[in-house]
Amino acid sequence: MKSVTTYGLLVECFWLALFCGSATPLLADSDHHKWDKLYLVHHWPVTVCMMNDNECKDPPMYWTIHGLWPDKAEECNRSWHFNVSELKDFMEDMREYWPDILHTNHTHFWRHEWEKHGTCAAELEALNSQKKYFQKTLEFYRKINLNSFLLKVGIKPGPTYYQLAAIKEALESVYNITPKIQCLPPEEGRLQVMGQIKFCLTKEFTLRNCTEPQSDLSSAHEDNSTEDLSICNDTLTYYPSHMHT
Ligand SMILES: *[C@@H]1O[C@H](CO)[C@@H](O)[C@H](O)[C@H]1NC(C)=O
Ligand SMILES: *[C@@H]1O[C@H](CO)[C@@H](O)[C@H](O)[C@H]1NC(C)=O
Ligand SMILES: *[C@@H]1O[C@H](CO)[C@@H](O)[C@H](O)[C@H]1NC(C)=O
Ligand SMILES: *[C@@H]1O[C@H](CO)[C@@H](O)[C@H](O)[C@H]1NC(C)=O
Ligand SMILES: *[C@@H]1O[C@H](CO)[C@@H](O)[C@H](O)[C@H]1NC(C)=O
Ligand SMILES: *[C@@H]1O[C@H](CO)[C@@H](O)[C@H](O)[C@H]1NC(C)=O
């Protein structure tokens, strides 16, 4: 009897705490920065160049990192400034796998990714410094190893095209999850162009299925450079090896 009463009291206190807490500005503010999963976003450099009036010389012919993004939070700490020196121990990897496709100086891109996404991801202990955030992202990128798996299942950039379903099935067979595949919508008489692949990760850094597009708010406010990309339609898809096709 006594234990039941105690239990009831506890439950009541719990709800009270929740209710009162949500009314305070402090909690409301941290609620605003709540997120559930991470996107490890890969982009295809040739498509990035096509989206920016081909303003690149020799884009890499492999998928590079766009960023590691919490799904529902941005710019969580404006006073945590980017410091490129934190990346000095793995600068070569940064340049090779996380380059700014459009500019020779990558610093602005990395700063943007840190300020917009890293400051939110930093809520996790494993990502709570700039060094950890960038280094861990490189580590997941290597683990996912998208470039070699795509080649292994025979999906290669070139003048031919693929059914989106074939690409999806290939990725599913490798990863046992379906990443989000984003495309540049077709220009008149042409096909959609594959541009970005987003893998969804839990806060424990395991791969998970992404939610359905309609329940995903994040695509509404993505980085400017990707504003033209949307979820690929189930149709023929280019995976371009050249900017001019
Ligand atoms: C924001 O970042 C600064 C600098 O790292 C830190 O001192 C501060 O505690 C952070 N604020 C929050 C709310 O995490
Ligand atoms: C930037 O990072 C380096 C290396 O960790 C550190 O020595 C330096 O004090 C930092 N600079 C600022 C302004 O925080
Ligand atoms: C890149 O840009 C940053 C920030 O503006 C600047 O501090 C740095 O000197 C530039 N690096 C090179 C190699 O030009
Ligand atoms: C992802 O969804 C597919 C298809 O519904 C399912 O077969 C697979 O087990 C799921 N993967 C995970 C890791 O939940
Ligand atoms: C997919 O189809 C919808 C509806 O026709 C269209 O609005 C959207 O732009 C298409 N997306 C792509 C990547 O082509
Ligand atoms: C994105 O666009 C907004 C408004 O158009 C601009 O204020 C912001 O600086 C842009 N961000 C980047 C990274 O270009």
Q: Output the CA 7–ligand 4 centroid distance in Å.
A: 38
pLDDT tens track, the chain, 245 positions: 444 444 444 444 444 444 433 333 444 455 667 899 999 999 999 999 999 886 788 899 999 999 999 998 999 999 999 999 999 999 999 999 999 999 999 999 999 999 999 999 999 999 999 999 999 999 999 999 999 999 999 999 999 899 999 999 999 999 999 999 999 999 888 999 999 999 999 999 999 999 754 444 444 444 444 568 999 999 999 999 988 75
Between CA 220 and CA 233, with CA 187 as vertex, the angle to 5 degrees is 55
Tokens at residue 194, please? 């594959």
Q: What is the C-alpha radius of gyration for the chain, rounded to an integer number of angstroms? A: 21
* Residue 83, ligand 2, Cβ within 6 A: yes
Residue 183 CA: which ligand 5 atom is closest?
13
Nearest to 190, CA basis, from 159, 219, 149: 159
Tell the residue number behind the tokens 């000095």, with chain if given. Answer: 88
Mutation pick for ligand 5 pocket among 233, 235, 237 (CB with most ligand atoms within 8 Å): 233
Per-residue 3-state assignment (H helix, E strand, C coil) for 87-129: HHHHHHHHHHHCCCCCCCCCHHHHHHHHHHHHHHHCCCHHHCC
Which pair of tokens denotes residue 152?
Answer: 């292994």
- Please count the CA atoms within 13 angstroms of the CA of 83 that sit on its side-chain side: 10
pLDDT, one tens digit per residue, over 23-70 is: 334 444 556 678 999 999 999 999 999 998 867 888 999 999 999 999
pLDDT digits (tens, 9 = 90+) for 175-184: 999 999 999 9
CA–CA dist 85, 65 (Å, integer): 20
Question: What residues are paired with 193 via a beta bridge?
Answer: 184, 238
Residue whose CA lies nearest to ligand 1 atom number 3: 80
The residue among 223, 232, 218, 217 whose CA lies nearest residue 179 is 232
* The residue to which tokens 């969804």 are assigned: 200
